[in-house]
Each structure stands twice: as structure tokens, then as C-alpha cells.
Amino acid sequence: MLKADGLIHRFGDAMVLDHVALSANTDERIGIVGPSGIGKTTLGRILAGQIRPDGGRVMWNGMDIAAVKGPSPVQLAPQSPELAVDPRWTVADILANGGAIDGGVLDGFGIRANWRTRRARELSGGELARVSLARLILPTTHLLICDEITAQLDAISARQIWQALLSVTLERNIGLIVISHDERLQKAVSTRSFRLEGGQLKHNS
């Protein structure tokens, strides 16, 4: 279980997160909505242990998320996967960089064997998004934070990727935190939804 308490974060004099609290289980899909620039990505990175908040703490099963050894149980899928991988890497390189991935995950995301020799820059946006997500679905992954992962894709590609992601994570009991400005997406995939507003998370009706 992920549990965040009293998260505070500032950019200069601007309070981005003001005593934010959130808990998430592996059987939940939690939505976080809000306009661009409100602090959603910052919150996602803090929850994943990628940056330290100015105040408060993030715990995984009672342990500080930053102190967890080995691959983190909480993974963050960024909005722009092309910025997260070396464009010269092949698909095989990208997948190996994350760790051991079972074939069922690759099949679930529709990643074909003949992609493995292609370089990241040779993939379409939808193909790279699939590969980027698959590399985060490790045996140690229990919660996946998705930060606007399909915002740059066309509607058909986005729908296909969400269908694949929901199926793969449900089968493996991986919880989701879905960060987006798209309220229709939130309603479609989330079991609970919050709005980030004024530095605080508020229940989204």
C-alpha cells in the first residue's frame, strides 16, 4: 500500500502541494485531474520516489519509498516516452534496461518479436508508448503512475493502449494512479478520482 501524508512542495515562493494526503492499494485505479501546470506531474514524481518533497513523507508498506531496495514497487510512466529512452536503443535494449519482463506482458501490449531490432526513433508514437509501458511492468511492480501517457496520441491509439494497460495491470494486480486533464478518461478508468486544486487534493464528484 502507498501512503502519502502531509506532502508540501514549493517552486520558489509558489506553493504547489499544500499538505497533500493520499493512499492507494494495488486493487485501485485512482484518477488525479487538474489543468496543466497545477503540479500533477510533481505529485506523481514525489509519489514514485523520484524527487523528495519539501515536507511530508511517502511510504510503501510502512517504509519510506526512497529507502526501498531494488526496483521500486511504484513505477512512473511519463508523458513523453521518447525523452525517457535513448533514441539509438533498440526495442530489445529498452526492454532489457527495465529488467526481466515476461512474454505475457509483451503479448498484452501487442509488442511483436520483429520490433526488437528496431530503434526507438523508428517507432511510431503508439508503438513507443507500448514499449515504454511494458518495460515498467516488472514482477516487482505493484503500482503504476501514468502521467498523461496518451495525451500526445490519436484517439484510436490512445483507446487501444488503455485497453491493453487495464487488462495487463488487472491480471497482475497492479494498481494505477492516472494523472490527466481529461475528465472523460478519468471517469472511464478510475475507481476513485481527485482534483488537484489550490495545492490540495479534493474528491472529484
Straight-line distance from the first to the last Cα atom of the chain, in angstroms, rounded to the nearest whole number: 24
List, in order, residues 6 or more apart from 33 with CB less than 8 Å away. Answer: 40, 180, 181, 182, 183, 186, 193, 194, 195, 196, 204
Domains of the chain (ranges plus CATH)? 2-203 (3.40.50.300)
Query: For position 205, what pLDDT does the model report?
Result: 66
List, in order, residues 6 or more apart from 96 with CB less than 8 Å away. Answer: none
Residues 180, 29 contacting (CB under 8 angstroms):
no
C-alpha cell at 146: 501514468
Which residue carries 484518477 as its cell? 31
Average pLDDT, the chain: 91
Mean pLDDT of the region 76-93: 86
Q: Order across the sheet with 63-64: list the strands.
A: 14-24, 2-11, 55-60, 63-64
Query: For position 145, what pLDDT does the model report?
Result: 97
The pLDDT-based confidence of 4 (bands split at 50, 70, 90) is very high
pTM of the model: 0.93
The pLDDT-based confidence of 29 (bands split at 50, 70, 90) is very high
- Residue 27, CB-side half-sphere exposure with 13 Å CA sphere: 0
The runs of H, that is alpha helices, within 90-190 are: 91-98, 103-108, 125-134, 155-171, 183-189
Strand-pair category, 143-147 with 74-77: parallel
Taking the C-alpha atoms of residue 31 and residue 149, their distance in angstroms, rounded to an integer, is 13
Taking the C-alpha atoms of residue 188 and residue 7, their distance in angstroms, rounded to an integer, is 28
Query: For position 182, what pLDDT does the model report?
Result: 86
